[in-house]
Amino acid sequence: MTISIWRFSHLMLALVSSLFIVLASITGTILAFEPISNQLQPYKINSNISLATTISSLSESYDEIITITTDENNFVVASVITKEGDSETFYVNPETGEKLGDLIEKAPLFKFTTNLHRSLFLKSTGRFIVGLVSFFLILMAITGIVLIAKRQGGIKRFFSKIINENFDQYYHVVLGRWFLIPVIIVAFTGVYLSLEKFSLLPETKITHTYPEVNSDEIIKTPFTDFEVFNNLKIADVKSIEFPFSDDVEDYYFIKLKDKELLINQYSGEIISEQNYPLVKLMSQWSLLLHTGQGTILWSVVLALVCIALLFFIYSGFAMTLKRQKATKKITNKFTKDEAEYIILVGSETGSTYQFATLFYKALIATGKTAYITTLNTYANYNKAKEVIVFTATYGEGEAPVNASKFKKLLEATTQNQSIEFSVVGFGSLLYPDYCKYAEEVHQLLNSHENFSQKLELFKINNQSFDAFRTWLSQWNIASNQNLKIQQPIEKRSSKNTRQFKVVQRMELNIDDTFLLQLRPTKKIKFQSGDLLAFRPNINEAARQYSIAKVNGDILLSIKKHDKGLCSSILSGLNPSDTIEAHIDYNSNFYLPKKAKNVVLIANGTGIAPFLGMIKDNHKQQHIHLFWGGRTHQSLELYADFLNEAKNENKLSQFHVAYSQEQEAKVYVQDLILQQSDFISKHLQEEGIIMICGSIAMQNSVLEVLNQITTKHLNEPLGTFENNKQIKKDCY
Task: Return the residues of window 655-714 that contact ligand FMN according to CB under 6 A.
Answer: none
Which amino acid is present at 346?
A: G
Distance between start and end Cα atoms, the chain: 37
Cβ atoms within 10 Å, residue 492: 13
CA gap 171, 148 in Å, rounded: 12
CB of 442 to ligand FMN, least distance (A): 14
Contacts with 41 (C-beta within 8 Å, 6 or more apart), sequence order: 73, 75, 101, 104
Binder among 113, 347, 634, 709 for ligand FMN (CB under 6 A):
347
Alpha-carbon torsion, ordered 694, 699, 704, 710, to 10 deg = 140
CA gap 347, 600 in Å, rounded: 34
CB of 226 or CB of 360, closer to ligand FMN? 360
Within the chain, how many helices (H) and strands (E) appear?
20, 26
Of 70-78, 213-221, 389-397, 511-519, the window that binds ligand FMN (rule: CB under 6 A) is 389-397
Site size toward ligand FMN, by CB under 6 A: 25
Task: Return the residues of window 467-526 that contact ligand FMN according to CB under 6 A.
Answer: none
CB of 97 or CB of 427, closer to ligand FMN? 427
Task: Return the residues of window 182-211 that contact ligand FMN according to CB under 6 A.
Answer: none
Binder among 351, 450, 588, 660 for ligand FMN (CB under 6 A):
351
Binder among 27, 39, 286, 352 for ligand FMN (CB under 6 A):
352
CB of 439 to ligand FMN, least distance (A): 10
Contacts with 731 (C-beta within 8 Å, 6 or more apart), sequence order: 464, 466, 544, 694, 695
Contacts with 653 (C-beta within 8 Å, 6 or more apart), sequence order: 624, 625
Residue-wise DSSP of 63-102: SEEEEEEE-TTS-EEEEEE-TTS-EEEEEE-TTT--EEEP
CB of 325 or CB of 619, closer to ligand FMN? 325
CB of 165 to ligand FMN, least distance (A): 6
CB of 370 or CB of 435, closer to ligand FMN? 435
Of 343, 347, 383, the closest CA to residue 361 belongs to: 343
CB of 350 to ligand FMN, least distance (A): 5
Task: Return the residues of window 114-153 that contact ligand FMN according to CB under 6 A.
Answer: 151
CB of 353 or CB of 421, closer to ligand FMN? 353
CB of 268 or CB of 427, closer to ligand FMN? 427
165 is a site residue for ligand FMN (CB under 6 A): yes
Binder among 39, 79, 393, 402 for ligand FMN (CB under 6 A):
393
CB of 375 to ligand FMN, least distance (A): 12
Cβ atoms within 10 Å, residue 363: 22
Contacts with 722 (C-beta within 8 Å, 6 or more apart), sequence order: 432
Cα–Cα distances in Å, from 316 out to 22, 166, 170, 581?
Answer: 13, 12, 11, 29
350 is a site residue for ligand FMN (CB under 6 A): yes
Of 538, 545, 393, 567, the closest CA to residue 463 belongs to: 393
CA gap 157, 661 in Å, rounded: 49
Cβ 247 vs Cβ 253: under 8 Å:
no
Angle between helix 3-39 and 108-119 (nearest 10): 160
CB of 710 to ligand FMN, least distance (A): 21
Taking the alpha carbons of 434, 438, 440, 442 in that order, is the dihedral positive or negative? negative
| Buried residues in 433-462 as b, exposed as e (16+ CB within 10 A) | bbbbbbbbbbebbeebebbeebbebbbbbb
556 is a site residue for ligand FMN (CB under 6 A): no
CB of 241 or CB of 398, closer to ligand FMN? 398
CB of 91 or CB of 353, closer to ligand FMN? 353
CB of 323 or CB of 368, closer to ligand FMN? 323
Cβ atoms within 10 Å, residue 329: 10
Of 26-34, 41-49, 392-400, 613-621, the window that binds ligand FMN (rule: CB under 6 A) is 392-400
CB of 465 to ligand FMN, least distance (A): 12
CB of 194 or CB of 393, closer to ligand FMN? 393
CB of 305 or CB of 375, closer to ligand FMN? 375
168 is a site residue for ligand FMN (CB under 6 A): no
CB of 316 to ligand FMN, least distance (A): 15
Of 155, 267, 169, 165, the closest CA to residue 211 belongs to: 267
CB of 51 or CB of 472, closer to ligand FMN? 472
CB of 352 to ligand FMN, least distance (A): 3
Cβ 79 vs Cβ 87: under 8 Å:
yes
CB of 292 or CB of 397, closer to ligand FMN? 397
Of 257-265, 391-399, 446-454, 722-730, the window that binds ligand FMN (rule: CB under 6 A) is 391-399
CB of 88 or CB of 165, closer to ligand FMN? 165
Of all residues in the shown chain, the one whose CB is closest to ligand FMN is 427
Task: Return the residues of window 415-474 that contact ligand FMN according to CB under 6 A.
Answer: 426-428, 431, 433-436, 463
349 is a site residue for ligand FMN (CB under 6 A): yes
Reduced 3-state DSSP string for 447-506: CCCCEEECCCCEEEECCCHHHHHHHHHHHHHHHCCCCCCCCCCCCCCHHHCEEEEEEEEC
Phi and psi, residue 565, nearest 5°: -65, -45
Of 218-226, 346-354, 653-661, 711-719, the window that binds ligand FMN (rule: CB under 6 A) is 346-354
Which residues lie near ligand FMN (CB under 6 A)? 151, 165, 347-353, 392-397, 400, 426-428, 431, 433-436, 463
